[in-house]
Amino acid sequence: MKKFNFRKVLDGLTASSPGGSAGGGGAGGGSAHPGGTAGAAGTPREEIQETLTSDYFQICKTVRHGFPYLPTALAFDPVQKILAIGTRTGAIRILGRPGVDCYCQHESGAAVLQLQFLINEGALVSACADDTLHLWNLRQKRPAILHSLKFNRERITYCHLPFQSKWLYVGTERGNTHIVNIESFILSGYVIMWNKAIELSTKTHPGPVVHLSDSPRDEGKLLIGYENGTVVFWDLRSKRADLRAYYDEAIHSVAWHHEGKQFMCSHSDGSLTLWNLKSPNRPFQTTIPHGKIQRDGKKPESCKPILKVEYKTCKNSEPFVIFSGGLSYDKACRRPSLTIMHGKAITVLEMDHPIVDFLTLCETPYPNEFQEPYAVVVLLEKDLIVVDLTQSNFPIFENPYPIDIHESPVTCTEYFADCPPDLIPVLYSVGAKHKKQGYSNKEWPISGGAWNLGAQTYPEIIITGHADGSVKFWDASAITLQMLYKLKTSKVFEKQKSGEGKATAEIVEEDPFAVQMMYWCPESRIFCVAGVSAYVVIYRFSKHEVNTEIASLEVRLQYEVEDIITPEPEIIPQFPDASSQLPSLKSLSGSTNTVACEGMMKDSIPCLSVKTRPVRMPPGYQADLVIQLVWVDGEPPQQITSLAVNSAYGLVAFGNCNGLAVVDFMQKTVLLSMGTLELYGSSDPYQRQPRSPRKSKQFAAGLTELSDSPVSLELERCKSPTSDHVNGHCTSPTSQSCSSGKRLSSADVSKANRRGPGRPPFRKAQSAACMEISLPVTTEGYISRRAMLQQLHGISSFSHDERHCTAHTWMNKENRENSFSRSRSSSVSSIDRDSKEAITALYFMESFARKNDSAVSPCLWVGTGLGMVLILSLNLPASDDLRQSEPVMVSPSGTVLTLKGAVLTFACLDCTGTLIHPPYEVWRDPHSADDGEKTRKRKLVMHSPSSSQDMGDHQFAVICSEKQAKVFSLPSQTCLYVHNITETSFLLQADVVTLCNSVCLACFCANGHIMTLSLPSLRPLLDINYLPVTDMRIARTFCFSNEGQALYLSSPTEIQRLTYSQEMCDNLQDMLGDLFTPVETPEAQNRGFLKGLFGGSGQAFDREELFGEATAGKASRSLAQHIPGSGGIEGVRGAAGGVIGDLTRARIALDERGQKLGELDERTASMMASAEAFSKHAHEVMLKYKDKKWYQF
């Protein structure tokens, strides 16, 4: 534990201007090179013990939630009752009971073609598109590959592993069938060549192997299905074909009847053929289930291919025939369907997404018994459903997994670890009322594995914002995920009528309600949402339903450079209208509300229409106030880039690249609405000069023609708002450029000339801070966080995932990235563009606003995209009684601090180095029935309970930008520590978080590094290259939380959680679920003497004899290459777990044997007693008739 003595640090300092000198290397030094004078007022004199060291930190992934992205394969273990899903990206997800959810990844990243469980053995075989087979050990919490086998000359098309066999059949594209020993993962010399399988007279190749299965009746017979319609029944012992069947349509799948006398094929013309082994010349039954029957008796018309069929028998009812596809071609608009044929009844289940695969779950794992199907698992492209076959209406089971994260694309995330414990039950109680009805009453059938809570018990909540305006609250405690509550923010607005988009003031064509930012105060339960259409909605939580009108305000945020000639030190609120205090009255800044008509300039109108009628609001989050930015002189409002709320002050602040607005949501009034440059007051921003001269109309090679007109740019943006990161518009929290990289048409140029009176043709203010974009290009061509986040916070980056993208979304991703590297490649082009100073960070705090302050007061910290930090003083009414009537004053304090790069985050520490929690109001139900004086009075907590009552005479302000972190002493504003975090890249996310009862600064860099710095000394504690930002989604959704937790969206459908805490890494093994649990394999039914005699049995020995090296010889070395797995120590643990499992099963078997022996003992004793009784009775009879003559009977 290292001690830092501030007095010693400050002793050797030289005086310089605040923030003037930068300290620390890019990766190394956290040494302090302060910029204040030694011995300044408020200099700390105590030693602060920093308890965190590098030993407290380690990075590891914990769990992945959500639906597997781009699924390709499905498998189920009927004894262990666990499900495996393979994906196109080489991932495998293994699911059991809720809490048992495991993610594995093939290193090659090759798509998973097929999965096969070794039933009840705790192992899984995966076949991948790179023609490699892998054997996974599931007897450990994190599965590992034990063996791999890479085929060199043939492509794998189909695999089959018979139940309780150690020989895997592998079919290939050439039509050959190979056999692999599962234990050694070595190829057998036994090969079924395609030219031996088909008849010699056949002149054409039969195509790839599409099906392999052994006969349920005789394990020594193998059924091989070829793509062209040929089916071969191969005798493994005699190495010849017993029979061959031909059909003139391609085969997609084959399914056996359990008796092994019949099999069914599905074909490319939508037909099902049923074949009998006794008469293989032609199918004894052909049906086209969805084909129209022709009047003239001809064959029914062809349908779409039946991609898979399953034929499952029942003891007490007709068999089930279940298939996917096969619909009629004339119903092009019909959705993908699963058809269930049971007897004469045909049920078609329409799906929301294409079907990838399906499996029928049966009571027995033995293929030669009545199957007794009870459910069907259907894997769709974006969903997983399970159908209950035991009920005639086939209801679906309620899915306990969080696989609907992507119901609407996720646009932003927030993560709260160690939040108040009463929130989860409260949110669940209001969310449970909206649950759907009509699910099956049976329990979820995928119930394998074991899971317990583990040592970590603090409550965690994840919030996801979505493209349709919905917000979901999730219980994320103990590495699980369960949805608690869903809020639809779009309900406060009128529905958009189709065709109105161009005539109205919409700035977004796709997803106008998309959630862009969220702010949640768990203690006061106030929730705030910033939408992509430039609006903010404030929600209060209530347990009571209410019918009320929605209050709304309108705010003008305009970038008026020409108005700022001599900035006044005292700012007058721009909205003095007293009538704006009425809750539902629209508040405007004095200008009349101009209705947008054809040919007229849009002015003072919002992008969306708030509902004016009373709205029914169910229990939960209820809209308290809607604030909308309006069009100004034909310019659309810019998207919101920063947001902060404080429940104790009753204020919400938000900013964009035009300026800042502060709203009193208690009095429903606008307190402040002004451009960024106006906020500086007497601190004249014009003193900051560009580092290189402005050149008019000179562009770097490769740049498109740029227009300097703000009007034309905004109009251009309005035309295609979802493509604004193609055009390079300022929609990011750190972007100062609002120019367009798109060539303007003549019509656009004419629009550009329609400026307001006296509007300059270009922006006056240029800032030195905006010159940082001349740094070398890094991170896939992005030079700064600013350039990257133009894409990141634009609508188009909302993950309408890559498969179903719109014209404005991920489809043009590559072009956008190229255009970014071009547009950011020259400082000249960047200087030439408009340089708006975006508001990138906001923070309400009890702090020292000025150097000579002796006590803390309410403040709003404002950070900009140019690295400037301003402190605004908030003058609140002295008593709470006057809060509803007295106005709140907001004024700049004159304090300006500087950093390199856009400001990301703020925090305040007290004089002991403890994090100070911003003030908050304790939650009370706004619609409670008890309306007494006590409930009306607000209960405020002005400082965090962890800090001392007396916060001392100074604080530490922690400020982090995309390039560096600084710690200032307040009120002296002395810069105590500087750490230059990165020179060649930029931070995407930074947060001050608590860990092990201490505090640190956690950072995520665009080059993939995750770093933590100690506070207040900014010593590097962790720096690991974890995850290169290969996708905008990661950058947009990455967030840190307390207790060493973090998350990001790893794909459009999945949330990846990770930890940077050593303690959690150590405890993770205990928290993860067990995939394998010792379960006794069910006994096979007694087949009877005759069936056993004629049905064939004991083929396991035959397989060993046939396929072993002694008989079959060795396979060609060039055919396949064996690669040993890298299980590591985890594999040893898993092996130990496997031995324990074997011992447990042996113990179960011994117990059962003992029990059976005991029963046998009792039965023998009973028979002996019965025999003795019979003997005694016989003796008595004998004595009775012993002396009698025969004629006396």
Containing 186, the helix (H) or strand (E) segment is strand 186-192
Radius of gyration of the chain (CA): 36
pLDDT band for 22, please (50, 70, 90 cuts): very low
Count CB neighbours of 886 within 10 A: 14
The two tokens of residue 730 are: 């300022």
Least trusted range by pLDDT, from 442-456, 923-937, 987-1001, 1131-1145: 1131-1145
* Residue 136: per-residue pLDDT: 96
Q: What is the mean pLDDT of residues 435-446?
A: 86
Q: Which of 10-19, 588-597, 1172-1181 has the highest mean pLDDT?
A: 1172-1181
The two tokens of residue 857 are: 């007061």
> Does 736 or 984 have the greater pLDDT score?
984
pLDDT digits (tens, 9 = 90+) for 463-502: 999 999 999 999 998 888 999 999 999 999 998 765 544 4
What is the C-alpha separation between 671 and 537, in angstroms, rounded? Answer: 17
What is the C-alpha separation between 137 and 183, in angstroms, rounded? Answer: 12
Beta bridge partners of 133: 127, 149
Q: Cα torsion for 921, 927, 929, 932, to the nearest 10°?
A: 40
By C-alpha distance, which of 183, 77, 163, 181 is closest to 122? 77
pLDDT digits (tens, 9 = 90+) for 636-677: 899 999 999 999 999 999 999 989 999 999 999 999 998 888
The two tokens of residue 686 are: 């014009």
pLDDT band for 1153, please (50, 70, 90 cuts): low
What is the C-alpha separation between 121 and 136, in angstroms, rounded? Answer: 11
Distance of CA 556 to the CA centre of its chain: 36
What is the C-alpha separation between 862 and 676, in angstroms, rounded? Answer: 10
What is the C-alpha separation between 631 and 605, in angstroms, rounded? Answer: 5
Task: Concatenate the DSSP letters of all residues of 631-667 into one string.
Answer: -BTTBPPPPP-EEEEETTTTEEEEE-SSEEEEEETTT
By C-alpha distance, which of 273, 283, 284, 163 is closest to 216? 163
Long-range (24+ apart) CB contacts under 8 A made by 574-577 are 574/670, 574/672, 574/673, 574/674, 575/669, 575/670, 575/671, 575/673
What is the C-alpha separation between 1068 and 109, in angstroms, rounded? Answer: 25
By C-alpha distance, which of 455, 871, 430, 484 is closest to 617? 430
Backbone angles phi and psi of 1152, in degrees to 5 = -65, -40
Task: Concatenate the DSSP letters of all residues of 1041-1069 into one string.
Answer: ETTTEEEEEEETTEEEEEEEEHHHHHHHH
Distance of CA 663 to the CA centre of its chain: 33
The two tokens of residue 713 are: 């740019």
The answer, yes or no, to whether the previous bond of 971 is cis (omega within 30 of 0) is yes
C-alpha atoms less than 13 angstroms from C-alpha of 721 in its C-beta half-sphere: 27
What is the C-alpha separation between 987 and 900, in angstroms, rounded? Answer: 12
pLDDT for residue 283 is more than 50: yes
* Residue 786: per-residue pLDDT: 52
What is the C-alpha separation between 1159 and 616, in angstroms, rounded? Answer: 68
pLDDT digits (tens, 9 = 90+) for 452-464: 776 667 899 999 9
Residue 912 CA: distances (Å) to CA of 18, 39, 46, 580, 941: 23, 19, 8, 44, 20
Beta bridge partners of 1004: 989, 1010
* Residue 819: per-residue pLDDT: 33
pLDDT digits (tens, 9 = 90+) for 719-776: 333 333 323 333 333 333 333 333 333 333 333 333 333 333 323 232 322 322 222 3
The two tokens of residue 716 are: 């251009």
Percent of the chain, pLDDT > 90?
A: 48
Count CB neighbours of 544 within 10 A: 13
pLDDT digits (tens, 9 = 90+) for 1099-1115: 444 677 777 776 666 76
Residue 771 DSSP code? G
Dihedral over Cα of 1145, 1150, 1156, 1162: its sign = negative
Category of 816 on φ-ψ map: left (φ > 0), alpha (ψ -120 to 50) or beta: alpha
pLDDT digits (tens, 9 = 90+) for 985-1029: 999 999 999 999 999 999 999 999 999 999 999 999 999 998 877
pLDDT for residue 1037 is more than 70: yes
pLDDT digits (tens, 9 = 90+) for 87-101: 999 999 999 998 899
Q: Longest Cα pair distance anywhere in the chain, in angstroms?
A: 148
Q: Cα torsion for 60, 61, 62, 65, to the nearest 10°?
A: 170
The two tokens of residue 647 are: 């429940």
3-state secondary structure of 120: coil
What is the C-alpha separation between 808 and 896, in angstroms, rounded? Answer: 40
What is the C-alpha separation between 589 and 579, in angstroms, rounded? Answer: 11
pLDDT band for 542, please (50, 70, 90 cuts): very high
**Mutual orientation of helices 785-792 and 813-823 as an angle, nearest 10°?**
150
pLDDT band for 213, please (50, 70, 90 cuts): very high
> Does 1076 or 1187 have the greater pLDDT score?
1076
* Residue 647: per-residue pLDDT: 93
| Mean pLDDT of all residues belonging to the chain | 77
* Residue 145: per-residue pLDDT: 94
Residue 688 identity (one-letter amino acid)? R
Q: What is the mean pLDDT of residues 173-182?
A: 93
pLDDT digits (tens, 9 = 90+) for 906-922: 999 998 889 999 999 99
* Residue 675: per-residue pLDDT: 86
* Residue 932: per-residue pLDDT: 52
On whether the CB atoms of residues 771 and 870 are closer than 8 A, the answer is no
The two tokens of residue 206 are: 């039969």
* Residue 770: per-residue pLDDT: 30
> Does 1165 or 77 have the greater pLDDT score?
77
* Residue 885: per-residue pLDDT: 86
Q: What is the mean pLDDT of residues 782-793?
A: 51
* Residue 333: per-residue pLDDT: 64
Beta bridge partners of 493: 610
pLDDT for residue 949 is more than 80: no
The two tokens of residue 438 are: 């009509």
> Does 358 or 297 have the greater pLDDT score?
358
What is the C-alpha separation between 1141 and 1080, in angstroms, rounded? Answer: 11
Least trusted range by pLDDT, from 634-643, 647-656, 888-897, 1167-1176: 1167-1176
Residue 818 identity (one-letter amino acid)? N
pLDDT for residue 711 is more than 80: no
* Residue 755: per-residue pLDDT: 36
Least trusted range by pLDDT, from 301-310, 341-350, 652-661, 823-832: 823-832
C-alpha atoms less than 13 angstroms from C-alpha of 73 in its C-beta half-sphere: 28
pLDDT for residue 570 is more than 70: no
Beta bridge partners of 63: 1057
Dihedral over Cα of 278, 279, 280, 283: its sign = negative
Residue 1094 DSSP code? H
* Residue 1070: per-residue pLDDT: 85
The pTM of the full predicted model, rounded to 2 decimals, is 0.78
